Amino acid sequence: MDYLSEILPGTLIERRYRVKRTIGQGGMGRTYLVADEQRFNKLCVLKEFAPRDLEASFVNKSRELFEREARVLNKIDHPQIPKFLGWFTELGRLLLVQEYIDGYTYAELLQQRQQEGKTFSETEVIQWLKDLLPVLSYIHAHNIIHRDISPDNIMLPIGSDKPMLIDFGLVNKQAITQLTASHNSLQIPTAVGKIGYSPSEQINEGKYYFNSDLYALAVTALVLLIGKHPQTFFDNFKLKWYWQDFVTIREDFGNIIDKMLARVPQERYQSAQEVLMALSTISTDNFAYASLTPTTFLEPFSDNYSLENTVEPVKNKTKKTQIIVLICLVFSIISVILAWHSPYINGLCNIFNNCVKKTELE
């Protein structure tokens, strides 16, 4: 399949979907806003699988994967997941139709908050988790792993207080690689997910588990609390999170976040239901709001993050350490000088009982 040009606005697809505009584009395809002329021009999302940089052997497997994704999405029926409406091929294009959600992604909502000098409160984030964990529990029960949870892939519909999980991304380079490798008896690990959000086993090894989604959900929760990209509060050399330097939350809630973020999958919660049970033990009496540390400055949130920036937090910590060492060194030098001259300084020599005698001065 050659790389296909973008479908122009006004084009009629499958004799019913009128393309209005392109609303998204990535390495694996495009997303269009379309009007369904057989349902009174009801708006829908049309996803086109159009990979840019895959070899022919990979692309040849795309149709099988595309049909697999359609069947998986067809099994899902949850009010917090966009409805699957069908899939088809036209003029060599693989196309999938889903319900259109009129609302804002949490990346957009966070940007709006930051324009007011705010982020999401601890209370809001805990409720947000309680609203999303049942959705993860539902898809995991259907043996589906989202694999790409981030503020961009969670939406709040207009007029609703329940977030929705979008963009499952089941057809991706990882899936195509695995399918091709299975035919060739080869294993080719391929990165899948989003840098900063996905756990190391997913990014480095191409492995993913149900609690890989829990890991990404915890990272997204911290991003909503702090208002910065996750690589800002992750030490890439020590492979440790230090989000506590950026925001203060309740200890019991922080412990839950830390367990969701455990580096080893076996040390995390094993199900969304386990996280829900842990959150239910948090008392809401005299609930404290999350507070940003004085050094946390709000900047316009962006998820466009380069790997070149991932070492910056370590540099900042190193600079702080150097300043502290310098202050301690100066203090030590002053202390030695004072101790050396203390016999000659009234008041100070009385404290140490080492005042020089007049005969010694003569």
Tell me the CA distances in angstroms from 105 to 157, 200, 303, one per residue in order: 9, 25, 12
* Bridge partners, 34 (sequence order): 19, 44
Are 149 and 168 a contacting pair, CB within 8 Å? no
Are 237 and 314 a contacting pair, CB within 8 Å? yes
Residue 357 annotated as binding site: no
Phi, psi (degrees; rounded to nearest 5) at 48 = -110, 125
Catalytic annotation, pick one of 36, 77, 102, 148: 148
E strands, 91-166, are 93-99, 103-105, 154-157, 164-165
36 is catalytic: no
The end-to-end CA distance of the chain, in Å, is: 102
Phi, psi (degrees; rounded to nearest 5) at 145 = -115, 130
Are 199 and 192 a contacting pair, CB within 8 Å? no
CA distance 272 to 282: 16
Are 87 and 97 a contacting pair, CB within 8 Å? yes
Angle of the 122-141 helix axis to the 272-280 helix axis, nearest 10: 150
CA distance 53 to 50: 10
Single-letter residue type at 279:
L
Catalytic residue ranges:
148
Residues at the binding site for ATP are 47
